[in-house]
Structure 1
């Protein structure tokens, strides 16, 4: 149905953690088939964040020489890749709703990898209603260029640093095909008390794209370090106003809903009743 790409012009802005938060919330709040994956080389931070909840499956994959993505590449080369085969090579995080595709174990992209990755996610798009991709930051990745080209919407991770905002407005170091894409801006580790809040940034820098702020959350960061994001979301996402992570979940839920609306999901019909997992 739709490919949602998370990209940042610079590494270290929280692109992977933003992908984790939005992807996990969609998988737990909505009855749609969602795939989450990353196309990083050497840094599987996204998939590691789910490891504690699915230790056996991860252990089995770690002990093999290939991964889900690499297996799908072999299927593509042998002309046996299909929409149904995608889910067969994933780890189910939420049954029928959220699947994790392990990234490649290759240390770098070979010449044909961008087009192969594009073909794999095109096929995944036929089975899943949302394909969520955490891609390499910056403007020097042929894989990222391909996936931005194929994306239905690009979530751009920035910060409240004015130099970062100015570079975005001036389109410095943008991938060539980003201009024509539907985009939203997500400010990571957001401080709502800053002078440079969402409203002022949008007005002062004359930005037309939707902008959201996702506040820093100590418990979320701990869950990532504990490799237990899935279980933490299950326990805490519906907590009341006195919970220390309440505002974080409120914003993640708002962003997730608005993003799904933009890709054509009826969020009123697909929303899972609170407390049902």
Structure 2
């Protein structure tokens, strides 16, 4: 149904953790089929965020020589890629609602890899209602160019650092494919008390795209480092106002809902009642 790409102009802005938070919320709050994956060639920690809840499946994959994406590449080359084969190579995080596809174990992209990755996610798009892709930051990665081109919406991770915002507005190191894309801007580790809040940034820099601020949560960061994001969301996402991460969850939920509305999901019908999983 729709490919949602998470991209940042540079590394270290929280692009992966933003994709993890929003993907997990969608998978636990909505009765839609969602796939989450990443296309990094080095040092991605997206998969590890879910490891504790699915230790056996991860251990089995670690002991194999290839990952989900690499197996799917072989199936594509042998003309045997299908929706069923994609589902067979995922780890189910929330049954029927959220699947994880392991990224490549390759050290770098070969010349035909962008078109192969594009074909794999086009096939996944036939089954999943939301395909969430955490892609490499910056404007030089050839796979990222392809996936931004194919995306239905791009979530751009920035910060409240004015130099980062100015570079984005001036389109420095932008992939050309971003020019006419539907985009939202997500400010990670957001401080609502800063003078550079969402309203002022939008006004001062004349940004027309929707902007959201996702506040820092030490509990989320701890859960990420503990490789236990899935269980932490299950326990805490519906906690009351006294919970230390209440504002974090409120914003993740708001962003997730607005994203789904933009890709055509009826969030009122698909919303899962609290306490039902």
Q: Aligned partners of 1:185 and 1:97: how far apart in 2? A: 25
Q: Aligned partners of 1:84 and 1:91: how far apart in 2? A: 13
TM-score by length of 1: 0.99
Q: Which residue of 1 aligns with 2:32?
A: 32
* 2:212 is aligned with 1:217: no
TM-score by length of 2: 0.99
Query: CA-to-partner distance for each residue in 1:58-83, whole Å, 9 max, x for gaps?
Result: 00000000001001001100000011
Q: Which residue of 2 aligns with 1:144?
A: 144
Deviation beyond 3 Å, 4+ runs, structure 1? none
For 1:1-277, list aligned pairs within 5 A. Answer: 1-277=1-277
Query: CA-to-partner distance for each residue in 1:211-264, whole Å, 9 max, x for gaps?
Result: 000000000000000000000000000000000000000000000000000000
Q: Aligned partners of 2:108 and 2:152: how far apart in 1? A: 26
SS in 1 for 2:203: helix
Q: Aligned partners of 1:9 and 1:250: how far apart in 2? A: 26
Unaligned runs of 5+ in 2: none
Q: Aligned partners of 1:95 and 1:127: how far apart in 2? A: 15
Q: Aligned partners of 2:156 and 2:133: how far apart in 1? A: 12
Displacement of 1:44: 2.9
Query: CA-to-partner distance for each residue in 1:128-148, whole Å, 9 max, x for gaps?
Result: 000000000001100000000
Q: Aligned partners of 1:177 and 1:89: how far apart in 2? A: 29
Displacement of 1:85: 1.5
Displacement of 1:42: 2.0
Unaligned runs of 5+ in 1: none
* Root mean square deviation, CA, Å: 0.5
